[in-house]
Amino acid sequence: MRRVAWLTSGFSPYRVPLWNALSDIIPTKIFLLSEQEKIRQWKRDDSALRVGLERIPGKQIYIRRLDWSLNVSYFSVQKKLSIYDPDALVIDGYESPGYWAGLHWARERKITSVMHSGSTNLSSVMMGVSLFDFVKTQFVKRFDAYYTYGKYAAEYLVGHGARESHIVIGQNLSDTSLTVTCDRISGRPSPSLLYVGQLIPRKGVLEMIQALDDLKDLPWHCTIVGSGPLQSQIESKIKSYGMESRVILAGSHGAVETALLYRQHDILVMPSLREVWGLVTNEALLSGLFVVGSNQAASCLELIQDGINGVLVDPTPVGIREGLRHALSTPLPKRTRVRETAAHITPEGEAGKLWRALQLAEDVCRQRER
């Protein structure tokens, strides 16, 4: 294997450590179907990159109802891949025509293909729609191997035609360079709750606000980091519940600022109603925060160890309330102990797993051609 092409929807800063670590194993170039997804506001810092990065021309269509960004760039994908001439291709999903173009290109040229996927039965918005499931199955089963973040993503792929023996299970990875320590620093009173994410319905922020209204008998302060269309509604709820002095709407913050905020708080609330993964769970655990996390988010199901680093809850006002009441009424574990539960997830470790998936795919591809 000489070099790898990685086809992804857009630039994601949290992917940079994994891209860099894979490039330390084998030359790798990242092809972006868009500069970034329309719903994201990430800043790109090329100084942190050790891989080549190239944008493929095309149009991005955002379907708000399904929370999908579709990148329409079929023929330009094939043209760019032909110029780079890799002998292995990693593809990040299935929803965009550009991904289909990449897989078709790889199959025609008998090039090794690996699907990198985190979708689960919890996160799918089209689960059970017969035509959609059929089309997705036709796409998934054509890959030589798979690298998933988490066992739930692996189960989802098996349900759509992937062979279990061709799957390497990893974990989703945050930018660990931002969470190298977990000591509590001053800045917020204790106990302090933290929410980090978009202010959109599926994130469960309104459910969290309602839960907090039922916890006024306990001491706490809460910081909400993020922006989105629900901001005015959240502000109104906070005011109607008389919680202006206890809940801060901090707006959007950059990655470095957010990392400092983790260390100024004690408990992360992760109330998502639906979530593919939820990297804030990784970031919070590495920062030593106890996590009150939704049982509809793969990161919480994979990483939370009951009572040791967090508690799983139903993402309803009642479920979130009871999880928070438990966390606020009992001594929290030491931050160093919480950090240890997620410290094993590293860029080098995950790149090694992806490399195993690439080697497995190469073997499968070779056997198919015999």
Phi then psi for residue 62, to 5 deg, are -105, 120
- The DSSP secondary structure of 57-120, one letter per residue, reads P-EEEEETTTTEEEEE-HHHHHHHHHHH--SEEEE--SSSHHHHHHHHHHHHTT-EEEEEE---
| Domain residue ranges of the chain, discontinuous segments joined by + | 4-173+346-368, 177-340
Q: For position 96, what pLDDT does the model report?
A: 84
CA distance 288 to 179: 9
Q: Which residue shows structure tokens 């973040």? A: 149
Q: What pLDDT sits at residue 65? A: 58
Architecture of domain 177-340: 3-Layer(aba) Sandwich (3.40)
Q: Which class in CATH covers the domain with range 4-173+346-368? A: alpha beta
For 294-351, how does the pLDDT look when each residue is reduced to its tens digit (9 = 90+)?
A: 999 999 999 999 999 999 999 999 999 999 999 999 999 999 999 999 999 999 999 9
CA distance 101 to 97: 6
Q: How confident is the model at residue 132, as a pLDDT?
A: 77
- What does the pLDDT read at residue 281? 98
Q: How is 138-166 classified by DSSP, letter by letter?
A: HHHTTSSEEEEESHHHHHHHHTTT--GGG
CATH topology agreement for domains 4-173+346-368 and 177-340:
yes
Contact 261, 195 (CB under 8 A): no
Q: What is the pLDDT of residue 259?
A: 96
Query: What per-residue confidence (pLDDT) applies to 61?
Result: 64
Helix (H) or strand (E) holding 248: strand 247-251
CA distances 290 to 134, 166, 233, 285, Å, are: 40, 35, 27, 7
Alpha carbon distance 116, 321 (integer Å): 35
CA atoms within 13 A on the CB side of 175: 14
Task: Identify the segments of the chain with pLDDT beneath 70.
Answer: 36-42, 58-72, 124-129, 370
Specify the pLDDT at position 130. 74
